[in-house]
Structure 1
Amino acid sequence: MIHTEPSAQPSTMDTAAFLKHIESAFRRIFSDGIDLMRYLPEDKWLALKQAGLLLPFLDKKHGGRKGSQFEIQEVLRIAGHYGVPVTLRTGIEGALVLQPLQEFGDEAQVAQGLDMVFKGEGGGLGVTEPETSGAAIAREMQSYYEYTDEQTIYVNAAKYWQGNSQSDFLLVAAKERKNGKLAKVINLLLVPKQYIRYEALTSEGLRAVRYAVNRIDAEMPAAAVMKLSQSDAAGLRAFQNIFIRSRLQLVGMTHGIMEYILENLDRYVRNDIKFVDYERREIQRRHQVSEILYRYVCHSVSPVAPVAHQLMEANIVKTLATEYTYAAAQMLQKLLGAKGFERGHTASNIAIDIRPFTIFEGPNDMLYAEIYDQFVRATAEEKEAGIKLDKNQTLLDRLQTDARFAAVARDYTLPEDIRSFLQEHTLTDACALQKVFIGKIIARLFVFVQAEHEDTAAFLLNDIRKDILDCRYCG
C-alpha cells in the first residue's frame, strides 16, 4: 500500500518530492535485498506500482501525473540502480503497455488494463513472432484476428520473447483477416491470460523477467480490439510510434544502469593500478556520453506529442546508449576478475542482462544502417518546405545543413581528417556494409555536437576515427 497521507499522494506531489518518494519506496521495498537470478517477486513489484512508480507514464485523467518526460526518464533511471530487470520491467509496463493502452484503448479497455496493472501482475506487449522475429513487422507478421459475429473474434497468434509474458494480459499485435486475406494494418488486442498458452523460455540472462512463447488460438469478445487507425498508412505510423518512443525513453534505463556500474566500480575496484585507472576513465567517458543522450531526451521529447519525426534520433539514442552501457559492463566484469563471473554477482548480472539491449527493438548494426538512410533522406519538414536534397552533395554538406543537428549543436570544430572523410562521400555512394559504419559515425557526431567537455568530445572523435578505419577497410 502507499505509505503517504491523503494530502501527499504521489499523483499530487511536486517533481522533487515525488522522485524522493520513489527512491524511498525502492529502499523500503528492497530493504532485504533482491535476487536477480529469479523472477521478481510479484508482491514487491505490486508494492512499487502502488507506491507510484508508473504514475509518470499515466495520464492525469486516469490518476497519473502531469506529462513530464523528465519524470519518465527519472523513474527508469532510479529503477536502474536496482538491476537491469527492474528498470526493464518498469519500461515494459510503462512505455510498452500503459502508453499504448491509453493512446489506443477505449474507456472500457483502459479501465480493464489499468485494473490488472495496478491490482495484479500487470501486462506485456506481444509483437515479435517465433518464425520471423527479426523481420519487418508489417510485412511478415502472421498473427491475425477475424470477426465470427459482431461480438466475437477468433484470434490466432504466436508471440515470442516479450517481457512480462506470463502476466495478467498481453497487448497483442495482429492483423485483421477478411475473406482469407490479411490486412496490411496492424491493430492491438487486449488479451487476458485465460486465452493464452505459455511455453517458458530459459534465457542466458534477464532471469528476473519472465520470457515465453505465447500462443493464442481462441474465440474471445470483439471488445478486445484496439484499432490504431482506419487508414493503413496512419495505422502503421501509429504502431511505429510506439517503438520510436520506446527507443527514445530507453536511455532512462541504460543511464540508471550506467550509474549502477559506476557505484559498483567504486565499491569493488582498487584505484592504485594504472591500467585499472585507465579502464575506470573509459567507463566514466561512456557515462558522459550517456548523460548527453539522457539530457537530450529529457529536453527534446514530449510524452504527449507524436515522435515519428524523431526516428533517426531514436535510433541514435538506442544504439549508443546500449553500446556504451554494455561496453562499460564488460569492463567492470573484467576488472573484478573471477568474481565478475560468479553466478549472481552484481557485475556478472549487469554484463549478461544488458547485452540483449543491443539486440532487442532492432539489432544495433541494423539500426546504424537505418540511421544512415534517415540522414541522407529529406525529413518530413524539408519535404513540406519543398526542399529536395541534392544526392551529389557530400555527407559534410548534409551535416552542416541538417536542422536536426543544428537544433542541438553547441559551438564545435571538426578535425580536418574527419571533415575530409565526410567530404569523400556523397549521399548515395555507400554500399550496404558501409552504411553500418557511416551510421555509427553519424550517431557519434550527433552526440559530439552536443558535448560540453573536451574529454567527452575527444572520446567521441577517437571512436569516430575507429569507425572511419572500419569503413575504409570494408570498402
Structure 2
Amino acid sequence: MEIDVIQPASVKKNISLFISDYKEKLSELFTERNNENELASTRGIPPYVMRQVLDCKPLSAFIPSEYGGRGAITSEALQMLETTSYQSLPLSLMMGINGALFLQPLANYGHHEAQGTVFKKFIEDNNMGGLMITEPEYGSDALRMQTGFTHDDQREEYNIEGLKHWAGLTGWADYWLITARGVDKDGNLSRDIAFFVHDTAQGGIEVQEYYKNLGLLMLPYGKNKLDITVPEEYRLQPNSTGVKMMLDILHRSRLQFPGMSTGFLHRMMDEAIDHCKDRVVGGMSLFNYDQVKERLANLQSYFTASSAMSYFTSTNVPLKKDTSKMDLAANSIKSVATDYMHEASQSLMQLVGAKGYREDHIAGRSLVDSRPFQIFEGSNDILYQQISESVLKGMKKSKVQNLYQYLKEYSLTSLAADHFKEQLNFRIDQKIAQRKMVQLGRAIGRIVTMNMTIKLGETGFNGDLISNSLKSLTNEIEMLVARYSSEPQPDIITDYHSESNWSQYLK
C-alpha cells in the first residue's frame, strides 16, 4: 500500500519559531480569550479550544518526518511539552499520553501500513490516541492482566476481549494502543504481552463508566469494555518479547516526564515569586522573610533539577534507542520529578495562603493536578524500591558491597557520589526491609538527579541556579541517607482498640 507523504506547515518552521508560535497560541487561548481558571476547573475542554491547540500541530513533534511530522526529535518533543505545561498541566499530560504512549510506540514498532494511515490522521485530521494497560483488578501488576486475544487465521485479524480502566482520553481518543495476552486452545493466557492499535471508528469499545476524577479535569477517565477485532498489520512487532517492548515504552515515557515537570515547575516558581514580591505582611514584603526565601530557593532548585533531566533525556534518548534496560535513569527521573512537582504546588499553596484554597486558584488546582503524577505510570513507592533493587543487583554482579565504592564508578552517579563519600561509605546488605529499600531509593534517585544537574552546569546553564540546586540537593540527600541509616522501624498494632481511648483515663 502506497502512503502519501505530507508536509504540514509546522515541519517548515525551525523549532524556535514553532515553539514561539505555539506558546503565543496557548497564551491567547488560556489567558486572553478565556479565563484560565474556569477552563481548568470544569470537566473537559471546549472543542474550539482543543481544535485550535491541535491546529498548531504540537503532536507533529512525535511523528517521523517521512510521515509528515517534525522528525520525532526528543528535544523538540520535550520543548513542546514544557511549553504546554507552563500554561496547563492537564493539557500537557494529554499531549504526553498521545506522544509517549501512542505515537512513539507506533513509530518504533508499528507496521508501515498502520503508521502511514494513523500518522496521516493525526497530521491532517487532528486525531488523538491513548494507551490501555491498567485493569480494575490488576493495576501495578500489569503482567497479570486478563484481557486476552485470539487469532482468526481466515480473516487475518485478532479478536480481543477484556476490561480496561483509568485510560486517559476515555471516550475521546480516535485510536487506542491496547495490551492483551494470548489465549490458547484451553483458554489459558500466555505469559507474554502484545500491543494492538485499534481505530475506535470500528467500534467494539463500550465506556461502562466515566470516573469523577478528583483532578486533571480536562481529561476524561473511565472503565472500558473491549470486544474488538484488529487487522494483523495493526499489531506492534517487538524486537524480542512483548514484555521487553512494554519496558521500552514505559521507560521512554518516564524519561520524558521532565517535559511536563519543567514547564509546570517554572510556572510554580514564577507564581510564587510574583506573589511574594507583591504581598506585604507585617509591614514587610513577604519576599524578605527567611523562611519564604527557603521555599523559593527550593522551588528554583526543583526547576533547575528538572531542566537537567530534560537535558539528559534530550541528549541520551533518541527515538530509536532501546530504553528497556534504562530502568535506573527512567525510574529516578519519573519519581523525583513528580515528587518535586507536588512539593512545589504544596509550597505555592503555603505561600499564597487561604486564597490558594479555592478551586479556581492555580495553587489549589496545581496541588490536586500534580498529585496523580506520583501514582500513574508506576507508583513512586514502587519505583523507589526498584531503584534500590537495580543498584543492589549491580553491586552483586560487580561484587562490590560498599555503596560509595559502587556509586562513584557508576555513570549515572559518579560525579555526585564524591559529595557524599562519608555518608555513603557503608556496606549494603542484600536483604533489606521493603521500607528501607524505598528510603534508599529516594536517596539514590536524588543522587542521580544531582549528577544530571552537575552535567547541565557544564554546558553554561545559569551558574547561580546550578549552585543553588546543588546545595538544596545536598541537604536533601544527606537527610535521606541519615534517615535510611538510623530511622527506627515501627510495627503495626493490629489489636489497637483496647486501651486506646484517651478519654477513659481522665481523672
TM-score of the pair, normalised by structure 1: 0.88
Question: Which residue does the alignment assign to 1:280?
Answer: 296
The reply on whether 1:142 has 2:149 as its aligned counterpart is no
Rounded Cα–Cα distance in structure 2 between residues aligned with 1:340 and 1:166? 32
**What is the one-letter code of the residue matched to 1:17?**
L
Q: Equivalent residue of 1:206, what SS?
A: coil
Question: Which residue does the alignment assign to 2:193?
Answer: 186
Rounded Cα–Cα distance in structure 2 between residues aligned with 1:9 and 1:115? 14
Change in CA separation of 1:150 and 1:466 when aligned onto 2, cut-off 3 Å: farther
Q: Equivalent residue of 2:11, what SS?
A: coil
The reply on whether 1:202 has 2:221 as its aligned counterpart is no
Give how far 1:141 is off: 1.1
Rounded Cα–Cα distance in structure 2 between residues aligned with 1:427 and 1:225? 47
The reply on whether 1:456 has 2:469 as its aligned counterpart is yes
**What is the one-letter code of the residue matched to 1:361?**
E
Question: Which residue does the alignment assign to 1:85?
Answer: 90
Moved more, 244-253 or 141-150: 141-150
**What is the one-letter code of the residue matched to 2:205?**
I
Question: Which residue does the alignment assign to 1:18?
Answer: 18
The answer on whether the counterparts of 1:241 and 1:306 sit within 8 Å (CA) in structure 2 is: yes
Give how far 1:370 is off: 0.6
Q: Equivalent residue of 1:403, what SS?
A: coil
Give how far 1:357 is off: 0.3
The reply on whether 1:246 has 2:253 as its aligned counterpart is yes
Rounded Cα–Cα distance in structure 2 between residues aligned with 1:469 and 1:59? 47
Moved more, 152-161 or 393-402: 152-161
Rounded Cα–Cα distance in structure 1 between residues aligned with 2:439 and 2:44? 38
Give how far 1:143 is off: 0.6
Cα-to-partner distance string for 1:89-120 (whole Å, 9 max, x where unaligned): 01011111111122222233224433553415
The reply on whether 1:293 has 2:309 as its aligned counterpart is yes
Which of 311, 315, 323 is the matching residue for 2:331? 315
The reply on whether 1:55 has 2:53 as its aligned counterpart is no
TM-score of the pair, normalised by structure 2: 0.83
The answer on whether the counterparts of 1:150 and 1:222 sit within 8 Å (CA) in structure 2 is: no
Cα-to-partner distance string for 1:206-264 (whole Å, 9 max, x where unaligned): 1111101111134x243474143385xx3211111000000000111011100111222
Question: Which residue does the alignment assign to 2:412?
Answer: 404
Moved more, 259-268 or 53-62: 259-268
**What is the one-letter code of the residue matched to 2:369?**
D
Question: Which residue does the alignment assign to 2:375?
Answer: 359
Query: Which protein has the larger Cα radius of gyration, Structure 1 or Structure 2?
Result: 2
| Percentage identity across paired residues of the two chains | 24
The reply on whether 1:162 has 2:177 as its aligned counterpart is no
Moved more, 464-473 or 252-261: 464-473
Q: Equivalent residue of 2:192, what SS?
A: strand
The reply on whether 1:46 has 2:51 as its aligned counterpart is yes
**What is the one-letter code of the residue matched to 2:178?**
V
Q: Equivalent residue of 1:438, what SS?
A: helix
The reply on whether 1:113 has 2:118 as its aligned counterpart is yes
The reply on whether 1:172 has 2:178 as its aligned counterpart is yes
Give how far 1:166 is off: 1.2
Give how far 1:176 is off: 1.7
**What is the one-letter code of the residue matched to 1:215?**
K
The answer on whether the counterparts of 2:62 and 2:71 sit within 8 Å (CA) in structure 1 is: no
Change in CA separation of 1:251 and 1:62 when aligned onto 2, cut-off 3 Å: same
The answer on whether the counterparts of 1:248 and 1:318 sit within 8 Å (CA) in structure 2 is: yes
Question: Which residue does the alignment assign to 1:229?
Answer: 238
The answer on whether the counterparts of 1:434 and 1:474 sit within 8 Å (CA) in structure 2 is: no
Moved more, 260-269 or 76-85: 260-269
The reply on whether 1:324 has 2:325 as its aligned counterpart is no
Moved more, 303-312 or 343-352: 303-312
Question: Which residue does the alignment assign to 2:384?
Answer: 368
The answer on whether the counterparts of 2:407 and 2:413 sit within 8 Å (CA) in structure 1 is: yes
The answer on whether the counterparts of 1:191 and 1:224 sit within 8 Å (CA) in structure 2 is: no
Rounded Cα–Cα distance in structure 2 between residues aligned with 1:321 and 1:465? 19
Rounded Cα–Cα distance in structure 2 between residues aligned with 1:314 and 1:221? 31
Question: Which residue does the alignment assign to 2:439?
Answer: 437
Give how far 1:344 is off: 2.2
Moved more, 8-17 or 462-471: 8-17
The reply on whether 1:32 has 2:33 as its aligned counterpart is yes
The answer on whether the counterparts of 1:144 and 1:182 sit within 8 Å (CA) in structure 2 is: yes
Rounded Cα–Cα distance in structure 2 between residues aligned with 1:169 and 1:148? 22
Cα-to-partner distance string for 1:295-344 (whole Å, 9 max, x where unaligned): 22222221232222321001111011000111011110121112111112
The answer on whether the counterparts of 1:104 and 1:227 sit within 8 Å (CA) in structure 2 is: yes
Rounded Cα–Cα distance in structure 1 between residues aligned with 2:270 and 2:469? 20
Cα-to-partner distance string for 1:267-294 (whole Å, 9 max, x where unaligned): 4333244433332222222222222222
Change in CA separation of 1:7 and 1:237 when aligned onto 2, cut-off 3 Å: closer
Moved more, 339-348 or 222-231: 222-231
Change in CA separation of 1:203 and 1:7 when aligned onto 2, cut-off 3 Å: closer
Give how far 1:404 is off: 3.3
The reply on whether 1:469 has 2:469 as its aligned counterpart is no
Question: Which residue does the alignment assign to 2:428?
Answer: 426
Rounded Cα–Cα distance in structure 2 between residues aligned with 1:13 and 1:115? 19
The reply on whether 1:389 has 2:393 as its aligned counterpart is no
Q: Equivalent residue of 1:404, what SS?
A: coil
Change in CA separation of 1:32 and 1:186 when aligned onto 2, cut-off 3 Å: same
**What is the one-letter code of the residue matched to 1:78?**
T
Question: Which residue does the alignment assign to 1:95?
Answer: 100
Give how far 1:12 is off: 2.1
**What is the one-letter code of the residue matched to 2:47?**
E
Rounded Cα–Cα distance in structure 2 between residues aligned with 1:339 and 1:374? 44
**What is the one-letter code of the residue matched to 1:64?**
G
Moved more, 280-289 or 171-180: 280-289
The answer on whether the counterparts of 1:146 and 1:154 sit within 8 Å (CA) in structure 2 is: yes
Give how far 1:157 is off: 1.5
Number of matched residues? 451
Rounded Cα–Cα distance in structure 2 between residues aligned with 1:145 and 1:351? 40
Rounded Cα–Cα distance in structure 2 between residues aligned with 1:68 and 1:147? 35
Q: Equivalent residue of 1:423, what SS?
A: coil
**What is the one-letter code of the residue matched to 1:190?**
V
Cα-to-partner distance string for 1:347-371 (whole Å, 9 max, x where unaligned): 1111100000011111111111111
Change in CA separation of 1:67 and 1:147 when aligned onto 2, cut-off 3 Å: closer
Question: Which residue does the alignment assign to 2:282?
Answer: none
Alignment RMSD: 2.4
Q: Equivalent residue of 2:424, what SS?
A: helix
